[in-house]
Amino acid sequence: MEYRWPGNVRELENIVERALILNPSSPLAFEHLNLGPPHRTMELGSSTEETDNLDEMISRHIRRVLLKTNSKISGPDGAAAFLGTNPSTLRNRMKKLGIDYGRISKS
């Protein structure tokens, strides 16, 4: 009950079946399911690896999406489409956060 499952019951059933096939000689354990650590409510004041600063979190996320899209902002396969926002809105956000955009010269 402590584990979060983001999928549906059929997906969970497939994961359990796969674990049983891959580990037929030992009892099934959570480690075999590759679910990650149990979900625990974080206590206030506990330290985290990531920052709690919203602008920093948004900046990191935009940069990750830009890497996936080869810095393309607009179009159906651009970062704005992946982020579900208008390209001009994304450019404005990038400018505010200090994220460079535009054509990069290859000279």
Q: Where are the domains of the chain?
A: 1-42, 54-97
Tell which residue, 64, 63, 82, 62, has the closest CA to residue 74.
82
The reported pLDDT for the residue numbered 27 is: 77
The reported pLDDT for the residue numbered 103 is: 58
The reported pLDDT for the residue numbered 5 is: 63
Residue 34 token pair: 């590759």
The reported pLDDT for the residue numbered 86 is: 93
For residue 91, give the 3-state DSSP assignment: helix
Q: Where are the alpha helices (DSSP H) in 5-70?
A: 9-22, 30-33, 54-68
- Kindly tell me if the per-residue pLDDT of 92 is higher than 90: yes
* Cβ pair 3, 30 in contact under 8 A: yes
The reported pLDDT for the residue numbered 93 is: 93
* Cβ pair 79, 58 in contact under 8 A: no
- Does this model's pTM top 0.85? My answer is no
> Model confidence over 38-88: pLDDT tens digits?
544 444 444 445 667 888 889 999 999 998 888 899 998 899 998 999 999
Residue 104 token pair: 């990069």
> Model confidence over 1-10: pLDDT tens digits?
556 666 677 7
Taking the CB of residue 62, how many other CB atoms lie within 10 A of it?
21
> Model confidence over 14-29: pLDDT tens digits?
777 877 777 777 777 7
* Cβ pair 97, 58 in contact under 8 A: yes
The reported pLDDT for the residue numbered 30 is: 64
- Kindly tell me if the per-residue pLDDT of 98 is higher than 50: yes
